[in-house]
Amino acid sequence: MTPVPTAPAPAGRSPLHYAMVAAAGVLLVSGFLPWIRAEVMFRLYSYSRAGVEADGTGQLIPVIALLVIALAIWGLAVSDPRICLYAAAPAGLGPVCCGIFLLRLNGLRDGLSAGSSYGFELSLGYGWWTSLATSLLVVGLGLAGAMTHRSPEQPARPDQPPTEPPRPAQS
Residue type, 135: S
Q: Would you state the pLDDT for residue 138?
A: 93
Query: Which of 84, 76, 68, 87 has its CA nearest to residue 30?
Result: 68
Indicate whether 144 belongs to any domain.
yes
Q: Would you state the pLDDT for residue 41?
A: 67
User: What does the buried/exposed string (b/e) look like for 67-90 if buried means 16 or more CB atoms within 10 Å of the residue's CB?
Assistant: bbbebbbebbeeebbebbbbbbeb
Indicate whether 163 belongs to any domain.
no
Residues 24-31: what's their mean pLDDT? Answer: 92
**Domain interval for residue 79:** 15-37+49-106+126-148
pLDDT one-digit tens code per residue, 131-156: 999 999 999 988 888 787 665 555 55
Indicate whether 117 belongs to any domain.
no
Residue 43 DSSP code: G
Q: Would you state the pLDDT for residue 7?
A: 47
62 band by pLDDT with thresholds 50, 70 and 90: very high
Indicate whether 153 belongs to any domain.
no
Indicate whether 167 belongs to any domain.
no
Q: Which residues contact 150 (CB under 8 A, 6 or more apart)?
A: 156
Cβ contact 65:32 at 8 Å? no
pLDDT one-digit tens code per residue, 89-119: 899 999 999 999 888 887 766 666 665 666 6
Indicate whether 73 belongs to any domain.
yes
Indicate whether 4 belongs to any domain.
no
* Number of domains forming the structure of the chain: 1
| pTM for the full predicted model | 0.73
Q: Would you state the pLDDT for residue 23?
A: 92
Query: Which of 148, 124, 12, 119 has its CA nearest to residue 58?
Result: 124
Indicate whether 56 belongs to any domain.
yes
What percentage of the chain exceeds 70 in pLDDT?
A: 72
17 band by pLDDT with thresholds 50, 70 and 90: confident
pLDDT at 6 over 70: no
**Rounded distance, CA 51 to CA 101, Å?**
9
